Amino acid sequence: MMNQRKGLGKKKLLIEGVAIVAIALILAFVIPAVLPAFRLKLLGRFLGLAIVSLGIDLIWGYTGLLSLGHGIFFALGGYGLAMHLKLQLPSGELPEFFTLYGVDKLPWFWQPFSSFPFTIMAIILIPSLVAALLGYLVFRNRIKGVYFSILTQAALLVFFNFFNGQQKLINGTNGLKTSTEHIFGVMAGSDSAQWAFYEITIVCLILAYILCRWLTSGRFGRLLVAIRDDEMRLRFSGYNPTGYKVLVFAVSGAIAGVAGALYTVQTGIITPKFMEVAFSIEMVIWVAVGGRGTLVGAIVGTLLVRYARTILSEEFPEVWLFFQGGLFLLVVTVLPDGIVGWIRDKRWGKKRVITYPGLEEMVEPQMNADEYG
């Protein structure tokens, strides 16, 4: 019996692996041949965004923590790579915008970004460290649920203000442009570089998927779901969820950082706008539409919503906000499992996710458990 189940599991895993490789090959080789260049570029960007939704799904869909501040990590990753690209200059020269504000010396935190290995490390590590610090300070006090959401949102606002206000350090609202800069001697906006970024995005998306898949299966994954479903009980069973929550938040932040970097080089610009409240909430809706608690759902949701947005705002810009608002209402009231969850319901006739991530609990007007002590 046990063995049989194990065998079944292995077979399923194999099918999944084959499916991933097949989809990846199609994305990498067939689609570029069919799609016109402009649409392909869009697809590349959307796939970049799909990576960040994987991160959100990890923290929200599986762990039940709704982060409204993923824009921070996304933008930090983007800024990291953009700073590296900006520094591809003959030695002694400064990026052009500095001279506009009368800055004649490179600020200290720019300096390490001239090294490529450091930049790659920074894209992953800086967002995850920021996430870990924020997460530690918040989770340590058992702040959770909506309080966590609101605090992440406030943190987002603060980062936005900081980046928006520092013209002399980071070029303020204008942000950093990358498409005319060079990476390994190739112009970042050129077709060949864009094609490379597209392929790298696919590789990163698959890596992120495998990482999330690995984290959410097995013991660790069950722990996450336990945190989502009944953190109190988990605590009573002798676990301390704080560490796990910090870890998963940091991983999610790192994923968002990578996504931000890839998105930035494909759009050609990173600005503090990526840290606006609306953008981070929009990320959540991608996951919700696709189906939280399912990794495929996060990817599918992102692609669908972004394409809907592109098409709608090309035809009638006014309708987009109505549509987006309606989408929020619809997903919350009618399709709490998202599209993937709905299809699975139809197909298997039963729910495989027993609870909707962390949402069926009562509100907790109290955040600490001092009274128990």
Q: For the segment 38-57, give every residue that binds other proteins (CB under 8 A).
A: 38, 41-42
- Torsion sign (Cα): 302, 214, 224, 259: negative
16, 83, 91, 123, 257 from 120: Cα distances, Å: 30, 11, 21, 5, 10
Burial of 368 (0-12, 13-18, 19+ CB in 10 A): exposed
To other proteins, the closest distance from the beta carbon of 27 in angstroms equals 20
Least separation in angstroms between CB 343 and other proteins: 14
Q: Which of 91, 237, 240, 366 binds other proteins (CB under 8 A)?
A: 366
Name the minimum Å distance from CB 185 to other proteins.
17
CA distances for 258 relative to 28, 69, 184, 239, angstroms: 19, 16, 19, 31
Characterize 198-227 residue by residue with b for buried, 16 or more Cβ atoms within 10 angstroms of its Cβ, and e for exposed. bbbbbebbbebbebbbebbeeeebebbbbb
Q: How many CA atoms lie within 13 A of 357 on its CB side?
A: 26
Which of these ranges, 25-33, 169-177, 214-222, 345-353, lies near other proteins under the rule CB under 8 A?
A: 169-177
**By C-beta, is 115 or 141 nearer to other proteins?**
141
Nearer to other proteins, 83 or 209 (CB): 83
Q: With binding defined as CB under 8 A, does residue 228 bind other proteins?
A: no
Of 17-25, 119-127, 162-170, 242-250, which segment contacts other proteins by CB under 8 A?
A: 162-170
| Stretch 14-43 residues interacting with other proteins (CB under 8 A) | 36-38, 41-42
CB 205 within 8 A of CB 50: yes
Which of the residues 73 through 92 are near other proteins (CB under 8 A)? none
Q: Using CA atoms, how far apart are residues 256 and 53, in angstroms rounded to an integer?
A: 8
Q: Which residue has the tokens 């013991």?
A: 219
For residue 79, which of 95, 65, 57 has the smallest C-alpha distance?
95
Q: Which of 19, 26, 35, 158 binds other proteins (CB under 8 A)?
A: 158
348 binds other proteins (CB under 8 A): no
Question: Could you say whether residue 273 binds other proteins (CB under 8 A)?
Answer: yes
Strand bridging mode 182-183 / 186-187: antiparallel
d(CA 338, CA 331): 7
332 scored as a contact of other proteins (CB under 8 A): yes
Q: Is 305 exposed, middle or buried (0-12, 13-18, 19+ CB in 10 A)?
A: buried
Binding mask 179-218 for other proteins (x = CB under 8 A): xx------x-x-----------------------------
What is the SS3 assignment for 270? strand
Query: Closest approach of Cβ 142 to other proteins, in Å?
Result: 7
CB of 17 to other proteins, least distance (A): 33
Applying CB under 8 A, which of residues 14, 19, 25, 100 lies at the interface with other proteins? 100
Check if the beta carbon of residue 295 is closer than 8 Å to that of residue 55: no
> Applying CB under 8 A, does 280 fall inside the site for other proteins?
no
In the complex with other proteins, which residue's Cβ is closer, 61 or 80?
Answer: 61
* Residue (of 52, 33, 32) closest to 42 by Cα position: 32
Give least dist CB 117 to other proteins, A. Answer: 27
Q: Does 359 bind other proteins (CB under 8 A)?
A: yes
Q: Candidates 3-11, 17-25, 106-114, 352-360 — which segment interacts with other proteins by CB under 8 A?
A: 352-360
Question: Nearer Cβ to other proteins, position 42 or 211?
Answer: 42
Q: Which is nearer to other proteins, 4 or 333 (CB)?
A: 333
Q: How far is the CB of 315 from other proteins (least distance, A)?
A: 5
Longest Cα–Cα distance of the chain, Å, equals 74
